[in-house]
Amino acid sequence: MDRHPNNVVAVKYSAETGLVFTASSAYVKVWDLRQSPSRCIKTLSSSGWPASGNQANTTSTRSLQLPQGETLINDIALSNQNSAVLYAAAGNQVRIWDIRKFNSTGKLSGGHQAAVMCLAVGAIPKSSTEHSGIEYVVTGSKDHYVKVFEVRNGATGVLSPRFNLDPPHYDGVQCLSLHGSTLVSGSRDACIKVWDMEHGEQSLSLSNAHRDWICGLAHLPHGRIMISGCRGGMLHLWSTETWEAIGEMRAHSSSVNAIAFNSTNIFTASNDNTVNIWRMRSSVDISPDPSEQY
């Protein structure tokens, strides 16, 4: 079995290519679901070197020490503009990968003083042709700051942030969710900040949104509801029209590390070794209804 060297911290699926990307330690493994059985076809390292197949695992036991020159990868994201681009946050920078050729083509680098913990990618909601083929790539860091990059399709080399979002959080930024021109950031300071991306400014700050670190955020597809999850295992639901809390529940006995969804279900992943699946009851009663647990 193609094991990872340590905990898997992020998973992304590209419907266009049929590839799955999984991040662990200093590596991103690329899995081809079109093959039977599915297998790891490439291993991408934080230092920018690709290798054929499963090259990250050198032992059958968990590896805690990074090879020289490598850095922990904390998050990965796929481009919204180009199905051939993958972003990988390693250390205080983000590496850009061309996943057609499996080459590293550039970096997002601009003054984060600590590790980038989370990424968000979205289209720039402007009709002008000046912004055609450009997308936002947002970085949240342990240094308390959120930075915004504007990345043009096909961009290479070292790119600097377009702007920083001020004021920063009081502790490390753990999660981001971008919907249209609205960005939401969640932090270890238990605060949720809402940002207007078109003007690059804070719209709202929700202090004590949870009683613990905020570790997961997700806008539901229609954008009217946002879900946040914390280290204490709680889920909160927020109306994005008023930014008032419209529901809360204990979802897990440990930290909610990630939140995802499809057209009918919400998925929450936790340190309690489970993934819970939730269904929205109706458009009137919007509190989640527990469905399954894995």
What's the pLDDT tens digit per position in 207-223? Answer: 999 999 999 999 998 88
The gap from C-alpha 258 to its chain's centroid, in whole angstroms, comes to 9
The model's pTM is 0.90
Domain-wise residue ranges, the chain: 69-293
79-90 pLDDT, tens digit each: 988 889 999 999
Q: In this model, does residue 291 exceed pLDDT 70?
A: no
At residue 125, φ and ψ (nearest 5 deg) are: -80, 65
Structure confidence at residue 30 (pLDDT): 95
Please determine, for residue 273, whether its predicted confidence score (pLDDT) is greater than 60. Answer: yes
What pLDDT, on a 0 to 100 scale, did the predictor assign at position 154?
87
pLDDT at 167 over 60: yes
Separation in Å, CA 188 to CA 121, 175, 213: 21, 10, 4
> Residues 237-253: what's their mean pLDDT?
94
Q: Check whether 285 has a pLDDT greater than 50.
A: no
**Torsional class of 243: left (φ above 0), alpha (ψ -120 to 50), beta (otherwise):** left
Q: Return the pLDDT at 148.
A: 96
Report d(CA 274, CA 276) in Å as an integer: 6
Which pLDDT score, from 0 to 100, does residue 284 have?
Answer: 40
112-160: per-residue pLDDT in tens? 999 999 999 998 876 555 666 789 999 999 999 999 999 998 889 999 9
Q: Is 52's pLDDT higher than 60? A: yes
Task: Express each pLDDT in 87-110 by its tens digit.
Answer: 999 999 999 999 999 999 999 998
**Please, what sign has the CA dihedral across residues 278, 281, 286, 290?**
negative
Q: What is the CATH number of domain 69-293?
A: 2.130.10.10
Give the chain's mean pLDDT. 89
277, pLDDT greater than 80: yes
